Amino acid sequence: MPTYSEKTLQEWKTDPLIRDAIALDETTWFNPDTLPFADAMKHIALSKADVEDAAARLERFRPYIEKVFPETQRAQGLIESPLRRIPNMQNAMASYFNMTLSGELLLKCDSHLPISGSIKARGGIYEVLNHAESLACGTGLLSLSDDYSKLDSATFRQFFSNYTIAVGSTGNLGLSIGIMSAQLGFSVSVHMSADARQWKKDMLRSKGVNVIEYDSDYSLAVAEGRKQAKGDPSCHFIDDENSITLFMGYAVAADRLKKQLTEANITVDAEHPLFVYLPCGVGGGPGGVAFGLKLAFGDNVHCFFAEPTHSPAMLIGLHTGLHDAVSVQDVGIDNRTVADGLAVGRPSGFVGKTLQHLIDGAFTVSDETMFELLALLADTEDIWMEPSALAGMSGIARVQHNEEYLHLHGLQDYMTTATHIAWGTGGSMVPREEMQKYYEAGCKLRDIS
């Protein structure tokens, strides 16, 4: 068998899965290299202690978050989202896909996370807080045992105004980092790719954030941001492609989800497997959550990445083993999708390599399917999300009728007792008129099909 590196990109283009991807067909990849959790962890330099450290830091910041973001008051400064049962959507999807969908489907509503309305309110905000803490503690202005609500003061804002934070983004990461950084008093620059929606740039500018716009895609916006930050020692560049800090901010979600499942009387064990479908852009958000979920549930959780057919960066990176050495453009795919949160052509090498033995698979979804499911979710459950957030919804249909995958993992007898979670990654801050357009596009497509 040829090793990955012996196969050229030209040879990969004749691989059946890559051919489907190039044809922009919806496709599913099941990872042939999964290892039992304990064995996979031997290849990974990160541990549960890293996630616990991040969770403890977010605890310390709760009094501050509660004070400056009143919408978090009810949760005492915890930035968390609801987990919802969506039986009407599950029924409607059974008709939509024309198949039985057994087990129970739930929706994790990161679309409704406070502060920035997307999954980026986990990792993005966490990395800004981490940086602020490290600067303030470094000069003795703050100590770990303090009440962090003291950060909401002219003294601290003055202190942070000497430092800059920079980031490259398709929109939502910029939104999270811009809002959080500006609130603390940092000077902040957000490098936006062409995919970024106008309302996100407008909102950031209204908060005093320096928004720099590019005509090109995400990878270039990141590269430019990185380059500009490099010459400035007072500038911290938040590296969406490689940041372990961001990753840990996302991973904290898992233990909180575990608590929500317990509160909902949902069991997760070998006879009650949990499947989680995560919309994936560069990989940090879904990768961090998946890593946390494996730490929390071990081999009883099965995680899948979901990507647009026009941006299957992680699927191609994982399947070829080339990770960040290959982009979708390299195989002739355009990276143009309505799912702006997922419009990434080159995956994070750090995430792909970290999860290569833990992730169960990846699948692609067309823009049309995302629109149609967006409208279906609005009609059946009155939950409104952006197109990217619907990418994971098809997961339940992809996984439970794949006999080969189920047999390989001994799951075939447990599908009626399984729980499926679609991770709804964004949307509550989308302006009403824009959401209405998404919805109408979905309704129109459903009428045709």
Question: Which residues sit at the interface with ligand PLP, rule CB under 6 A?
Answer: 118-120, 172-173, 279-286, 341-342, 344, 386, 388-389, 425-426
As a whole number of angstroms, the distance between CA 194 and CA 179 comes to 20
3-class DSSP assignment, residue 437: helix
Phi, psi (degrees; rounded to nearest 5) at 131: -70, -45
Rounded Cα distance between 125 and 145, Å, is 21
Who contacts 200 (Cβ-Cβ below 8 Å, separation ≥6)?
Answer: 171, 172, 174, 175, 192
Instruction: Give the shortest CB-368-to-ligand PLP separation in angstroms.
Output: 18
Instruction: Please work out, in degrees rounded to the nearest 5, the angle formed at the alpha carbon of residue 416 by the alpha carbons of 413 and 419.
Output: 110
C-beta of 111 vs 187, nearer to ligand PLP: 111
Assess contact for 286 and 278: CB atoms under 8 A. yes
Secondary structure (3-state) at 115: coil
CB of 246 vs ligand PLP, minimal distance in Å: 8
Note the helical H segments in 332-383.
349-355, 367-381
Taking the complex as a whole, how short is the minimal distance between the CB of residue 36 and ligand PLP, in angstroms? Answer: 25
Give the CA distances from residue 390 to residues 219, 364, 423, in Å, rounded to whole numbers and listed in that order.
23, 11, 8
Question: Least distance in Å: CB of 112 to ligand PLP?
Answer: 12
CB of 123 to ligand PLP, least distance (A): 7
CB–CB of 285/84 below 8 Å?
no
Cβ proximity to ligand PLP, 102 vs 242, nearer residue: 242
Smallest gap, in angstroms, from Cβ of residue 346 to ligand PLP? 12
The nearer residue to ligand PLP, 114 or 284, going by C-beta atoms, is 284
Q: Which residue is nearest to ligand PLP (CB)?
A: 281
129 contacts: CB under 8 Å, gap ≥ 6: 57, 58, 61, 180
Classify strands 361-365 and 28-30 as parallel, antiparallel or unpaired.
antiparallel
109 vs 261 by CB, closer to ligand PLP: 109
Nearer to ligand PLP by Cβ, of 159 and 237: the residue is 237
Closest C-alpha among 78, 186, 67 to residue 133: 186
CA-based torsion, 165, 126, 241, 49: positive or negative: positive
By the 10 Å C-beta count (0-12 exposed, 13-18 middle, 19+ buried), 174 is classed as buried
**Closest distance to ligand PLP from the beta carbon of 218 (Å):** 9
Cβ at position 110, least distance to ligand PLP in Å: 8
Q: How many degrees, rounded to 5, is the angle at CA 152 between CA 148 and CA 153?
A: 120
In whole angstroms, the minimum distance from the beta carbon of 19 to ligand PLP comes to 25
Nearer to ligand PLP, 196 or 441 (CB): 196
